[in-house]
C-alpha cells in the first residue's frame, strides 16, 4: 500500500497491566510478545516511532512506544480484482472482501488482459483509533501457556487482572477487555488496593514508583541484585555458584529487592551438600554461600521483596530452612543405616514399566549387560555387577522420596558411607549422566558401564513393546536416552560392540519371560541410534553432506571412530587438502559411474597389474596400495588428520593418470582393467567415508 506519513508532533503510548503476581515462567513471554504484536500493528500502517520497550515486575507489565506519529495520511490506490472474463462469483467475492458495491469498480486493461479495479479514497488514520481497535484484540487473544478465569468474569489471564492503564498523548484510550475498562490510574501498592494514583505519562509514573523503592526495569533490577550479592560475598570472602537461572527467577519474583544474610545450624553440614543446595536453591530460591574451595557453608542469601526493618523476614526464612533440613537429616540418618544389598529385594515391589517388570528385574538385566561391557573396558566384572545390583535401591529410600531430583546422587552417597569402593559409589552417583544435551558426561569406566547398561536396557524394553517415539511425541524421553549413549561413546572416545550388546539385551528380556511385540526390534534400535548420531553431528555444525556420508557407513560398533573421521574431514573439507581429496575421488568415480552404466559386464574388483602398459597406471596402482595399507593397519590411536593428508597426496597420481591415459582404450580388456583400477582407487577412499555423498566445489 502506497503510504505517505505526514509530519506531525510525536506522541507516547503508555500501557500498564496490573494483576496479581504472574509466575516467572509466564512474565518473559508476555513481556516480549506483547510489544512485538503492537510493533507489527504500527509498522503495518507505516506509523513511525523512535523507541519502544517493555518492563515487568511480578504485578506490573508496562509497554511504552515513544515518539509515535499522531496520524498518518494514506494515499488513494488502485486495487486489482478478478479478470473481467472470470465467473460472476469471483467478482462478488472481490466486492465482499473490499466491502464495496459493483458501482465502485471499473474495468482497466494491462499487459495480462482486462481486470476489475477499485480505487480507494485518501484517508487520515489516527494512531489513537488504531490502538483502540487493535490493542483489545491483542490482549484478549494473547496465547498464554497457562491461564485462568476468576469470579464470574469471562476474561482469560495468567493471574487475575486488576486494572488497565492506557494513555496516548497523555489521554486515555477508551476500550474494554472483559469486565475491565481502560483508565489513567493504577494501584501503587499490591497489598493496599485503595492506594490509587492517576498518571499522564510514563516518566511521572516511573518516578513515582522509584520513590517507593520499586525498580520497574527488570534489567536494572537484576544488576542491582547482582551488585548487592557481590557486596556480601566480598565482605565475607565467600562465593556463590554461577546460577543464571536462579538469578533470573528471583529477579522476576521481586520489585523492591532487599538482600538478607541468613544462616542455619552448622550441624546440618554433615548432610550431603546436594541436599543443602537443592533445599535452598530449588525449593526456597536462596543463594547458598561457598568457600573459595567450593565447600558449602551454613550461610545463605535471601532476596526479599521489601526491607526487613524488624528482622522478621530473616527469622522466618531461617525457620523454613531449619524445618526442611530437620526432615532431611532425619531421612538421611535413617537411610544410611539400612544395608543397600539387603534392600535390593524390596525393588520387587516397585514397577519399572508395564510389560517390562519391576526394578528388581531391571537391575538383574543391568548386571548382565554391565558384565559384558566391563570385558570391553577391561575393568572388574565383580565391581560392575555389584554397582548394578545396588544402583536403584535409593529409589525406595526416604531421602529420595523427599528429594526425588537426587536419585542416583543419594545412592552414591549412601553406598559411600556404607563402605563400598569408590569406583562403585561413583558409578551409582553418576549413572544418570548425562542428564541433558549439555550436561557433563562421566569419564570414569565404571560409571560409563553402568550408564550404558541402564540406557540400553531401557531402549530395548520400550522399543520391544512398541512404546517408540513418534515424530511429535517422546513421552519417555527415549531420544534423550539414546543421545546420551552417543555422547558417552564419542566424548570418551570408546568403541564398544553395541550391536552385540543390543542383541544380548533383547535376549535377557526373553530369558526373564517377557514377550516383545516388535518383530523389527534390532533394526529399529539400530536406525534410532543412527538417527541420534546424525543429530549429534548436526549439533556440532558438521556439513550436511559429511553427516549423510558418515551416517550411511556408520557401524554402531565404531561410533566414536566414525565421529572422529567425520570431525577430521569437516575441519579440512573447504581447505586445499579437502578439495584435493574430493576432486581426486570425484574424477575417478564419475568415469566409473558413466562407463559402468553402459557396460554389460560389471566390475569384479580385480585389477591385473600385469597388463598395465604405461607408468601412470603403475603409479596410481602403487599409490592406491599404499593408501589401502593405511586402512588395513589396526591401531588404537588412529591419526585421521594424517590419513586425510595421505588421501590428498594421491592427487598427483590421479591427475597424471587422467592427463596421460585413455580409459576408453580400443582393447576391451585394457579398458576394463583401467576401470577396475579406478574402482579399486575409489573403494580404498571409501574406507574412510562414503565420498559419493560428499559434494565437490562445483556441486
Which pLDDT tens digit goes with each residue over 43-59? 988 899 999 999 999 99
Residue 131 DSSP SS3: helix
Mean pLDDT of 193-210: 90
- b/e for 425-462, b at 16 or more Cβ within 10 A? bbbbbbbbbbeeeeeebbebbbbbbbbbbbbbbbbbbb
Q: What pLDDT shows up at residue 120?
A: 82
Rounded CA-CA distance 693/550 in Å is: 9
7 pLDDT higher than 60:
no
The answer to whether 561 and 550 are in contact (CB under 8 A) is no
Q: Copy the grid coordinates of residue 225.
A: 541484585
Q: Copy the grid coordinates of residue 79.
A: 486495487
Q: What pLDDT shows up at residue 503?
A: 96
To the nearest 10°, report the CA torsion of 655, 657, 659, 660: 160
Burial label for 29, CB within 10 Å (0-12, 13-18, 19+), is: middle
pTM score above 0.75: yes
Q: Which residue has the higher pLDDT, 604 or 659?
A: 659
Element (H, E) at 196: strand 196-198
Rounded CA-CA distance 158/143 in Å is: 10
Residue 8: which pLDDT band, with cuts at 50, 70 and 90?
A: very low
Burial label for 504, CB within 10 Å (0-12, 13-18, 19+), is: middle
Q: What is the DSSP letter of 101?
A: -
pLDDT tens column, 465-520: 999 999 889 999 999 999 999 999 999 999 999 999 999 999 999 999 999 999 99
Query: What's the mean per-residue pLDDT of the chain?
Result: 92
Share of the chain residues as helix, strand and coil, in percent rounded to the nearest 5: 55, 15, 30
Helix residue ranges, H only, 194-277? 202-211, 218-236, 244-251, 273-277
Q: What pLDDT shows up at residue 605?
A: 81
Q: What pLDDT shows up at residue 690?
A: 93
- b/e for 663-682, b at 16 or more Cβ within 10 A? beeeeeebbbbbbbbbbbbb
Residue 695 DSSP SS3: coil
Burial label for 33, CB within 10 Å (0-12, 13-18, 19+), is: middle
Is the bond preceding 434 in cis, omega lying within 30 degrees of 0?
yes
The answer to whether 55 and 98 are in contact (CB under 8 A) is no
Closest to 431 (Cα-Cα) out of 447, 412, 455: 447
Contacting residues for 285 by C-beta, under 8 A, at least 6 apart? 246, 249, 250, 253, 303
pLDDT tens column, 235-277: 999 999 999 999 999 999 999 999 999 999 999 999 999 999 9
Residue 193: which pLDDT band, with cuts at 50, 70 and 90?
A: low
Comparing 3-72+126-211 with 569-693, is the CATH topology the same? no
406 pLDDT higher than 80:
yes
Mean pLDDT of 618-630: 94
* Domain locations along the chain: 3-72+126-211, 78-119, 218-336, 380-539, 569-693
- Residue 698: phi and psi, rounded to 5, are -95, -5
Q: What pLDDT shows up at residue 598?
A: 62
Q: How far is CA 533 from CA 115, 125, 523, 539, in A?
A: 57, 56, 15, 10
Q: What pLDDT shows up at residue 423?
A: 97
Residue 666: which pLDDT band, with cuts at 50, 70 and 90?
A: confident
Sign of CA dihedral 174, 175, 177, 179: positive
Residue 595: which pLDDT band, with cuts at 50, 70 and 90?
A: confident
User: How many helices (H) and strands (E) are present in the chain, helices listed first?
Assistant: 25, 20
635 pLDDT higher than 70:
no
Q: Which residues is 117 bridged to in the sheet?
A: 80, 106
636 pLDDT higher than 80:
no
Please state, for a pLDDT cut of 70, what percent of the chain lies above it.
96
pLDDT tens column, 371-397: 999 999 999 999 999 999 999 999 999
Q: What pLDDT shows up at residue 599?
A: 56
Q: Please state which CATH class domain 3-72+126-211 belongs to.
A: alpha beta
Residue 330: which pLDDT band, with cuts at 50, 70 and 90?
A: very high
The answer to whether 67 and 49 are in contact (CB under 8 A) is yes
Q: In this predicted structure, which of 90-94, 202-206, 570-574, 598-602 has the lowest mean pLDDT?
A: 598-602
1 pLDDT higher than 60:
no
Residue 121: which pLDDT band, with cuts at 50, 70 and 90?
A: confident
Q: Which residue has the higher pLDDT, 77 or 439?
A: 439
Alpha-carbon Rg for the chain, nearest whole angstrom, is: 36
Sign of CA dihedral 62, 63, 67, 71: negative
Architecture of domain 569-693: Orthogonal Bundle (1.10)
**Residue 7: other Cβ atoms inside 10 A:** 7
Mean pLDDT of 440-451: 96
Q: What pLDDT shows up at residue 568?
A: 95
Rounded CA-CA distance 56/49 in Å is: 21
To the nearest 10°, report the CA torsion of 477, 482, 488, 494: 170
The answer to whether 87 and 33 are in contact (CB under 8 A) is no
Q: What pLDDT shows up at residue 157?
A: 93
Amino acid at each position: 500500500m502506497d503510504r505517505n506519513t505526514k509530519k506531525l508532533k510525536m506522541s507516547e503510548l503508555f500501557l500498564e497491566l496490573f494483576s496479581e503476581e504472574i509466575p516467572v515462567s509466564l512474565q518473559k513471554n508476555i513481556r516480549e510478545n506483547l510489544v512485538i504484536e503492537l510493533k507489527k500493528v504500527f509498522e503495518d500502517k507505516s506509523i513511525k516511532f523512535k523507541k519502544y520497550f517493555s518492563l515487568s515486575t511480578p504485578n506490573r507489565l508496562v509497554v511504552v512506544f515513544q515518539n509515535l506519529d499522531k496520524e498518518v495520511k494514506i494515499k488513494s490506490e488502485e486495487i486489482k480484482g478478478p479478470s473481467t472474463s472470470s465467473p460472476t462469483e469471483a467478482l462478488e467475492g472481490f466486492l465482499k472482501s473490499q466491502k464495496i458495491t459493483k458501482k465502485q469498480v471499473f474495468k482497466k486493461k494491462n499487459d495480462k488482459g482486462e481486470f476489475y479495479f477499485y480505487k480507494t479514497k485518501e484517508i487520515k488514520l489516527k494512531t489513537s483509533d488504531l490502538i483502540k481497535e487493535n490493542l483489545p484484540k491483542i490482549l484478549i487473544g494473547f496465547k498464554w501457556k497457562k491461564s485462568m478465569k476468576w469470579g464470574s468474569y469471562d476474561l482469560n489471564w495468567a493471574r487475575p487482572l486488576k486494572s488497565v492503564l492506557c494513555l496516548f498523548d497523555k489521554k486515555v484510550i477508551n476500550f474494554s477487555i472483559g469486565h475491565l475498562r481502560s483508565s489513567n490510574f493504577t494501584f501503587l501498592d499490591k497489598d493496599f488496593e485503595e492506594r490509587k494514583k492517576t498518571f499522564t505519562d510514563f516518566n511521572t509514573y516511573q518516578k513515582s514508583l522509584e520513590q517507593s523503592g520499586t525498580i520497574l526495569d527488570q534489567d536494572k533490577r537484576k544488576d542491582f541484585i547482582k551488585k548487592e550479592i557481590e557486596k556480601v560475598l566480598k565482605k565475607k570472602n565467600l562465593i556463590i555458584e554461577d546460577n543464571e537461572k536462579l538469578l533470573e527467577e528471583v529477579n522476576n519474583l521481586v520489585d523492591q529487592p532487599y538482600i538478607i544474610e541468613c544462616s542455619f545450624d552448622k550441624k546440618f553440614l554433615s548432610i550431603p551438600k546436594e541436599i543443602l543446595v537443592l533445599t535452598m536453591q530449588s525449593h526456597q530460591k536462596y543463594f547458598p554461600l561457598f568457600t573459595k574451595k567450593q565447600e558449602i557453608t551454613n550461610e545463605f542469601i535471601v532476596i526479599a521483596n521489601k526491607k526487613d526493618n524488624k528482622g522478621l523476614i530473616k527469622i522466618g526464612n531461617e525457620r523454613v530452612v531449619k524445618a526442611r533440613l530437620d526432615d532431611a537429616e532425619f531421612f538421611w540418618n535413617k537411610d544410611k543405616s539400612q544395608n543397600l544389598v539387603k534392600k535390593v529385594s524390596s525393588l520387587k515391589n516397585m514397577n519399572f514399566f508395564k510389560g517390562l517388570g519391576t526394578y528388581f528385574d531391571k537391575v538383574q538385566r543391568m548386571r548382565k549387560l554391565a558384565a559384558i561391557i566391563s570385558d570391553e573396558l577391561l575393568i572388574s566384572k565383580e565391581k560392575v555387577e555389584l554397582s548394578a545390583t545396588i544402583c536403584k535401591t535409593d529409589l525406595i529410600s526416604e531421602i529420595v522420596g523427599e528429594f526425588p531430583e537426587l536419585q542416583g546422587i543419594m545412592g552414591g552417597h549412601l553406598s559411600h558411607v556404607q563402605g563400598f569402593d569408590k569406583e562403585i559409589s561413583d558409578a551409582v552417583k553418576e549413572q544418570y549422566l548425562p542428564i541433558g544435551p549439555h550436561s557433563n558426561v562421566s569419564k570414569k569406566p565404571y560409571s560409563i558401564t553402568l550408564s550404558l547398561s541402564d540406557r540400553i536396557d531401557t531402549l530395548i524394553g520400550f522399543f520391544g513393546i512398541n512404546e517408540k517415539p513418534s515424530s511429535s511425541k517422546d513421552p519417555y524421553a527415549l531420544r534423550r536416552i539414546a543421545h546420551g549413549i552417543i555422547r558417552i561413546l564419542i566424548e570418551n572416545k570408546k568403541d564398544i560392540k553395541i550391536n552385540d550388546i543390543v542383541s544380548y539385551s533383547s535376549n535377557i528380556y526373553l530369558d526373564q519371560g517377557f514377550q516383545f511385540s516388535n518383530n523389527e526390534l534390532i533394526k529399529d534400535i539400530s536406525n534410532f541410534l543412527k538417527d541420534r548420531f546424525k543429530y549429534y553431528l548436526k549439533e556440532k555444525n558438521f556439513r550436511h553432506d559429511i553427516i549423510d556420508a558418515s551416517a550411511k557407513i556408520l557401524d554402531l560398533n565404531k561410533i566414536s571412530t566414525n565421529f572422529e573421521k567425520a570431525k577430521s574431514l569437516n575441519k579440512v573439507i573447504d581447505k586445499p587438502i579437502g578439495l584435493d581429496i574430493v576432486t581426486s575421488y570425484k574424477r575417478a568415480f564419475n568415469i566409473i559411474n558413466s562407463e559402468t552404466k553402459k557396460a554389460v559386464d560389471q566390475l569384479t574388483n580385480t585389477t591385473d597389474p600385469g597388463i598395465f602398459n604405461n607408468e601412470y597406471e603403475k603409479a596410481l596402482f602403487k599409490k592406491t596400495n599404499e593408501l589401502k595399507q593405511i586402512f588395513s593397519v589396526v591401531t588404537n590411536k588412529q591419526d585421521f588428520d594424517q590419513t586425510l593428508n595421505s588421501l590428498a597426496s594421491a592427487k598427483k597420481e590421479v591427475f597424471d593418470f587422467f592427463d596421460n591415459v585413455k580409459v576408453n582404450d580400443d582393447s576391451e580388456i585394457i579398458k576394463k582393467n583401467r576401470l577396475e583400477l579406478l574402482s579399486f582407487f575409489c573403494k580404498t577412499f571409501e574406507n574412510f567415508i562414503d565420498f559419493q555423498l560428499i559434494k565437490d566445489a562445483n556441486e
